[in-house]
């Protein structure tokens, strides 16, 4: 299927099961330095009824790859994320979700996000800032950056929102300690969530994949 000309370049996998009903959508958000092909490699193994859209981050990197926001690896003041760019990407993803609903045969009440690393951080930001637009989030190897959440987000209605969160206990890129703050944060907001750790680095272990696939399949 040809991808529509939306704000973000993307790949599409139509549902394998033909139906007249609008399909649940899964929007994939890749990590820093990657592109839309990365998570899309999971697509064939995910539930057949999903309409899968893998988006490409807007900021081009050299010599290749893309990012949702810049990272300043040499930062000494702890400000290594370009939060302003991250907020711009949060708003761009929100707009992209609306465009997906307008241009593809998907159910606006069943929009799901799957993010890895930076894509996971943005998934948290979009869902917590605009929970009316997202049903389920699979957040892999990320954390909640409160600085990029919409002001007043804690007053949102989160009753329909659910999170699957996971992290590698040996992650050398995003410390597992940051990820461990996720569950208490979501619990405080009374958001249904689960958190798992796997004995790997900054990546997705096979058992992690099967676990989130099962989690997603029972909630779409």
Domains of the chain (ranges, CATH numbers): 10-217 (3.40.50.1820)
pLDDT at 3: 79
pLDDT at 1: 58
**71 pLDDT higher than 90:** no
Residue 44: half-sphere exposure toward Cβ, Cα within 13 Å = 3
Task: Kindly state the average pLDDT of the residues 40-66.
Answer: 95
Calculate what percentage of the chain has a pLDDT beyond 70.
96
Q: How far apart are CA 23 and CA 79, in angstroms?
A: 40
Residue 80 binned pLDDT confidence (cut-offs 50, 70, 90): confident
**78 pLDDT higher than 60:** no
Q: What sections of the chain are H helices per DSSP?
A: 37-40, 83-103, 118-129, 176-179, 182-188, 206-217
pLDDT at 114: 98
């Amino acid at each position: 299927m040809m991808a529509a000309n939306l704000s973000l370049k993307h790949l599409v996998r139509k549902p394998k099961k033909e139906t007249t009903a609008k399909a649940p959508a899964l929007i994939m958000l890749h990590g820093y330095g990657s592109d839309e092909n990365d998570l899309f490699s999971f697509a064939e193994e995910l539930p057949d009824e999903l309409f899968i859209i893998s988006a490409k981050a807007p900021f081009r990197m050299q010599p290749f790859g893309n990012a949702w926001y810049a990272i300043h690896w040499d930062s000494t003041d702890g400000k290594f994320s370009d939060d302003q760019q991250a907020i711009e990407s949060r708003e761009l993803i929100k707009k992209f979700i609306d465009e997906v609903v307008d241009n593809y045969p998907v159910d606006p009440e069943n929009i799901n996000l799957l993010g890895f690393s930076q894509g996971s951080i943005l998934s948290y930001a979009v869902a917590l800032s605009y929970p009316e637009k997202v049903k389920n989030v699979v957040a892999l190897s990320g954390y909640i950056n409160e600085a990029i959440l919409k002001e007043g987000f804690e007053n949102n209605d989160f009753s329909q929102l659910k999170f699957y969160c996971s992290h590698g206990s040996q992650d050398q890129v995003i410390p597992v300690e940051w990820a461990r703050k996720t569950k208490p944060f979501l619990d405080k907001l009374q958001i249904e969530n689960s958190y798992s750790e796997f004995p790997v680095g900054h990546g997705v272990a096979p058992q992690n994949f099967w676990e989130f696939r099962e989690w997603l399949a029972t909630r779409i």
